[in-house]
Amino acid sequence: MSTQPLSAPTQTSRAPFEPGAPVQFLPPALLDRLGSAGPRYTSYPTADRFVEAHGPEQHLQALVQRAQGPGKVAPLSVYVHVPFCESLCYYCACNKIVTKHHERGAEYLKLLDAEIDLWTRNLGSRAAVSQLHFGGGTPTFLSDDELSQLAARLRDAFEWLPGIEASIEIDPRTVTRARLAHLQSLGFNRISYGVQDFDPKVQQAVHRVQPFEQVAQLMRDARELGFASVNMDLICGLPLQTAQSFAKTLAQVVQLRPDRIALYAYAHLPTRFKAQRRIHTTDIPAADVRLQLHADAIAAFLAAGYEHIGMDHFALPGDALAQAKRQGRLHRNFQGYTVQPDGDLIGLGVSAISRVGPTFAQNAKTIEEYADALAQGQWPVVRGIASTRDDLVRRSAIMALMCQGRLDFQALADAHLIDPKVYFAQELEALASQAADGLVQISDQAVDVTPLGWFFVRSVAAVFDRHLQADRARERYSKII
């Protein structure tokens, strides 16, 4: 399978993933060819394929079809987007509003309340929810009272099932032990600290200064309060990062021992994200350095006992995410890897994306447009897509590769009543070059991602992306390496 450490395809006495040792076995030509831009596949079709022709009317029709569907529907996931931040992080590509006017939080809650009404009106009251996630922006921009009000509204609108996974993203600069205790009292049992890097120079370069000691204390507080899981977000490829500076950050992260680690590659897209124009391009590590940072991180985490869940996620063996990976129950959605079964998602707030059956719908990205639609009693949906049968087949293939590192032909045939080797004849032919590069192994039974291939799993999955292969317009995506 695909969770083993990367090892060189040539003879060497060096242990795989030895921190600080040059990753010399990747030919520059391979890095240039496969380390280019590509989707992260938190959905398929990817969000950039959504169209304005799929609007409020189509979204409502999808809800009607859901209600008329046979049998009992699976529990829902709910995502709440809180767009506000007090200060601007230069690397950020999220939909956010930078402001110190906290009164805007109360105004936003009224809008969320109106959108929740639309959902309950169409889903019926007290629909079952097994996963809840607050993201942003900075959800802890809201006051304790506002967070209490929002949690109470969600409990009133939906049935929070026993064992619900309720998580919230936290900027460590915005919380104290008392605030963590309050979040726990509201039902949150998983938290995620946005750290990115502990090096002071890197923090200054991205305008996000938060000392290691501050995060360390909050980690101790979370443990003592008894949160079920603590995640830590890191980014490699940030300006001024070096192998030496990042090695220190990795050692500090391992010392704090979060249950999960999300290691993202910085995507420098200044033409799309205005804040990134404040980052000097010359300060961004070169591709070979970014690869080294990635390899060093994997080495450090594996040595510390973490399991490599997938492209950018790591977890301790006892964590639910690691257990799901071992048992083949891993899934992927807009929040990354998850243990939740594949099902419908309610997205609340500006820019939030919902999934209802085979359809996706995204809300307006500005508060003004979002508020205007709700004031008229309309869904604030501005674009989306209805998946075709071909999309669903390809989604299964892509998610199998991204989550299990294996595309099993028989499983795909049973699920979609196709002959995968005929259906994907062109794709399997295209994969031959990646097989020659040692990224995949192709047999009569399956396509397996190799340890080396995990560095480029997005490139492997992209072979099955009909939309991407049709236009090859990749400048909108982050670099794979």
Which amino acids are annotated as binding site, given as ranges? 79, 85, 89, 91-93, 136-138, 169, 196, 208, 233, 267, 353
Q: How far apart are CA 450 and CA 424, in angstroms?
A: 20
Q: How far apart are CA 151 and CA 92, in angstroms?
A: 26
Binding-site positions for [4Fe-4S] cluster: 85, 89, 92
Alpha-carbon distances of 99 from 86, 102, 351, 352, rounded to whole Å: 5, 8, 18, 20
DSSP symbols for 37-87: B----SSSS-GGG-BTTS-HHHHHHHHHHHHHSSSPPPPEEEEEEE-EESS
Strand partners, 272: none
The CA R_g of the chain, rounded to the nearest whole Å, is: 22
In this structure, what token pair is assigned to residue 237? 């490829």
DSSP symbols for 96-163: -EE-S-THHHHHHHHHHHHHHHHHHHHH-TTEEEEEEEEEES-GGGS-HHHHHHHHHHHHHHEEEEEE
Q: How far apart are CA 39 and CA 256, in angstroms?
A: 31
φ/ψ region of 187 (left if φ > 0, alpha if ψ in -120 to 50, else beta) reads: left
SS3 content of the chain, % helix, strand, coil (to 5): 40, 20, 35
First to last CA, the chain: 22
In this structure, what token pair is assigned to residue 348? 């609340």
Q: Which of 250, 234, 240 is nearest to 289 (CA)?
A: 240
Does residue 230 contact residue 260 with C-beta atoms inside 8 Å? Answer: yes
Binding-site positions for S-adenosyl-L-methionine: 79, 91-93, 136-138, 169, 196, 208, 233, 267, 353
Q: How far apart are CA 336 and CA 43, in angstroms?
A: 9
Does residue 463 contact residue 430 with C-beta atoms inside 8 Å? Answer: yes
**329 CB burial (10 A radius; 0-12, 13-18, 19+):** middle
Does residue 163 contact residue 202 with C-beta atoms inside 8 Å? Answer: no
3-state secondary structure 388-406: CHHHHHHHHHHHHHHHHCE
Identity at 243, one-letter amino acid code? A
